[in-house]
Amino acid sequence: MNKVVANAEEAIKDIKDGSTLMLGGFGLCGIPENCIGALVNKEVKNLTCISNNAGVDDFGIGLMLQKRMVKKMISSYVGENAEFERQLLSGELEVELIPQGTLATRCLAAGYGMPAIFTPAGVGTEVAQGKETRVFNGKEYLMEYAFDADFAIVKAWKGDTAGNLIFRMTARNFNPMMAMAGKITIAEVEELVPEGELDPDQIHTPGIYVHRIFQGNNYEKRIEQRTVRKKADA
């Protein structure tokens, strides 16, 4: 099985105006930098983006917001982006804020072939408005639907030509379940190896979920909150 494409441009070539995209990452950690760059160059419009966060003003999904490529964001936390807030308050951008666990589990449901989930998150809040509820064992739960995304774009640490993926530390976050959830899943990896070189016991995402894979380059891996201690403090 060979799922390798040459680069980000080729991987995203059929992403069109109006597509629904899932983008992996938590904050700027584990985001598909190369594909975001290619999307920004292509300037596709009216996108619906499902991503936990919306980047910062000049990096990540923030770059797509600057070019007004995004019609709607579905996220759990968008606090780090002034341009985002401006577009939201001016009505240019539609935003659906949902609990982080609900976001993750709606991806998971899509990848597991389940149409919906029940979660207690948001019961009794405005998140519950218009949603079906059920009581199980005396506790109320909201029904939340599996996501339906045209493309899932994820970033892994290592991958092989068959699309098997291994993530690194907390850069894993939303990437594995988004990889499972896209109709077309695109994976960019820091290191691409031939099929057979990854230990099957160590693979996080089986290649069956991945349609296109390429080795990215020039990863910036920007840190949002650099917090350190001095050696003398230890």
Partner 1 sequence: MLDKNGIAKRIAQELRDGYYVNLGIGIPTLVANYIPEGMNVVLQSENGLLGIGPFPFEGEEDPDLINAGKQTITTMPGSVFFDSAMSFGMIRAGKVHLTILGAMEVSERGDIANWKIPGKMVKGMGGAMDLVASAKNIIVAMQHVNKAGESKLLPECSLPLTGVGCVKKIVTELAVLDVVPGKGFVLLERAPGISVDEIKNATAGKLVIEGDIPEMQLN
Q: Which residues bind partner 1 (CB under 8 A)?
A: 26-30, 52, 75-80, 85, 88-89, 95, 97-105, 107-108, 119-127, 157, 167-177, 204, 221-231, 234
Q: How many angstroms separate the CA atoms of 167 and 189, rounded?
A: 9
Strands 70-75, 47-50: pairing kind: parallel
With respect to partner 1, which residue has the nearer C-beta, 48 or 173? 173
3-state secondary structure of 176: helix
For residues 15 and 48, what is the distance between their CA atoms, to the nearest angstrom?
12
Q: How far is the CB of 113 from partner 1 (least distance, A)?
A: 15
**Which of 122, 163 has the CB closer to partner 1?**
122
77 versus 145: smaller Cβ distance to partner 1: 77
In this structure, what token pair is assigned to residue 166? 């291994």
Residue (123 or 193) nearer to partner 1, CB: 123
Contact indicator for 7, 37 with CB cutoff of 8 Å = no
Least separation in angstroms between residue 156's CB and partner 1 is: 11
| Rg of the chain on CA atoms, in Å | 18
In whole angstroms, what is the distance from residue 43 CA to residue 7 CA? 17
Amino acid at 232: A
Min CB(36)–partner 1 separation in Å? 16
Q: How far is the CB of 43 from partner 1 (least distance, A)?
A: 26
The nearest distance, CB 109 to partner 1, in angstroms, is 9
- Judged by CB, which is closer to partner 1: 15, or 177? 177
> CB 2 → partner 1: shortest distance, Å?
26
Instruction: Give whichever of 9 and 77 is closer to partner 1, judged by the CB atom.
Output: 77
- DSSP conformation letters of 28-90: TBT--HHHHHHHHHHT--SEEEE-S---BTTBTHHHHHHTT-EEEEEES--TT-HHHHHHHHT
17 contacts 44 by C-beta, under 8 angstroms: yes
